[in-house]
Amino acid sequence: MTIKIGIMSFAHLHAEAYIQNLRNAAGVTLIGIADDDEARGKHFGQLFEAPVFRNYEELLEAKPDGVIICSENSRHLPLVKLAAQAGANILCEKPLATTVNDAEEIVRICEQAGVLLMTAFPMRFSTPLLEVKSRLDQGELGKVLCFQSSNQGELPKKHRAWFVDKELAGGGAIMDHTVHLVDIMRWYLGSEVREVYAVANRIFHADEVEVETGGMVWVTFENEVFATIDCSWSRPPYWPAWGGLSFEMVTDRGAVLVDGFRQNLTVFTHHLQRPYWAFWGSDPNQAMIDEFVQAVREQRPPRVTGMDGLRAVEVVEAAYQSVALGKPVQIRH
């Protein structure tokens, strides 16, 4: 049985990767795309040679088994409503929403409609991170005590202007780069965040954007593991890659240093006049899309759920509260 998937909105650049992942996935028919920005929809439809529906309703009338929602962060909720009402299973780009209220509603709507909801946390499918998780579970690494981690990136404005728009993105670096590491740590620890402290500034690109560009988020888990997350847009545009995700996991036996994007070639070209990193590791996006398709096919919960997305949004919201208050904020689940 072939699984029919559609893409709702190309606002998020990850849609450009996902559409190619769908083409590479076994037993998938890409029924097409739809976008509320007509020009954008047309552009990507042509670029990827995909049918373009006139609007989301029309795409949903074609009865996809699943949809991938890649709208602006604050516009996930209305698209989730449409898709869930039409009975489509949903893979939603991260962050699941820009507020806890919206994220809770997204989870509730999908539950009520009986559709699967997956949050796009591709790092759960990163082979180096899976390897560490497996060694941790086998007891090879000891008991985790703390993490220091970093998901620094370049200013994402050059990809899409809305990434730095407070309304559409929901914030700046904290909104953009906190959720992946929160999700990884929750996954590794099987524990929830109970306290968040965060500091932020706007020194990088101060004259270009209104949102915070520098930030450090400090999370403490219910099992007393503590961790820092550097979520800054601190990488310059001439960095060899867009940014990266890495962490040090400290255990009672020492420490493990993990870099999700170290499997690179360093390439020097006359054309670019600077080195860049060409990634040769296994594509985590492909594994994530494969899992979504498989979950839809088997009608079982995906490995990463809407609840995982909601938990990460709780931390982000608490981080903004902490920045405003200048002190740690407790999370009650």
Partner 1 sequence: MRIGIVGAGFMGTTHAEAWAQTPAQIVGVAAETIEEALPLAEKYSVQAFPDFSSLLEAVDVVDLCTPTHLHVPMILEAAAKGKHIICEKPLALSLESAQQAVQACQEAGVTLFVAHVVRYFPEYALAKRLVDEGQIGKVATLRLLRGSYRPKKPIGNWFLDENKSGGILLDLMIHDIDYARWVAGEVESVFARKVSLIHQDSPVDYGLIILKHTSGAISHISGAWAYPPPTFRTQFEINGDSGMIEFDSQLSSPIQSLIMRPNQEAPDVGIPSSPVRESPYTTEIKEFYAALVGEKVSRVTAQDGVEAVRIAAAAVQSAKSGEVVTLLQ
Q: Which residues bind partner 1 (CB under 8 A)?
A: 145-146, 148, 150, 197, 199-201, 203-206, 213-216, 218, 220, 224, 226, 228, 230, 232, 234-236, 248, 250-255, 326-328
Closest approach, Cβ 233 to partner 1, in A, equals 10
Residue with Cβ nearer partner 1 (71 or 150):
150
Closest approach, Cβ 321 to partner 1, in A, equals 14
Element (H, E) at 151: none
Beta partners for residue 200, in sequence order? 215
For residue 298, give both structure tokens: 């088997």
Which residue in this structure is represented by tokens 């449409």? 82
Number of H helices, E strands in the chain: 11, 14
Q: Report whether the peptide linkage leading into residue 95 is cis, meaning its omega lies within 30 degrees of zero.
A: yes
Closest approach, Cβ 193 to partner 1, in A, equals 14
For residue 76, give both structure tokens: 């996930």
Closest approach, Cβ 197 to partner 1, in A, equals 6
Indicate the Cα dihedral angle 229, 161, 73, 230, nearest 10°. Answer: 0
Element (H, E) at 141: none
Residue with Cβ nearer partner 1 (71 or 234):
234
Closest approach, Cβ 276 to partner 1, in A, equals 16
Burial of 277 (0-12, 13-18, 19+ CB in 10 A): middle
Closest approach, Cβ 224 to partner 1, in A, equals 5
Which residue in this structure is represented by tokens 């650049």? 13
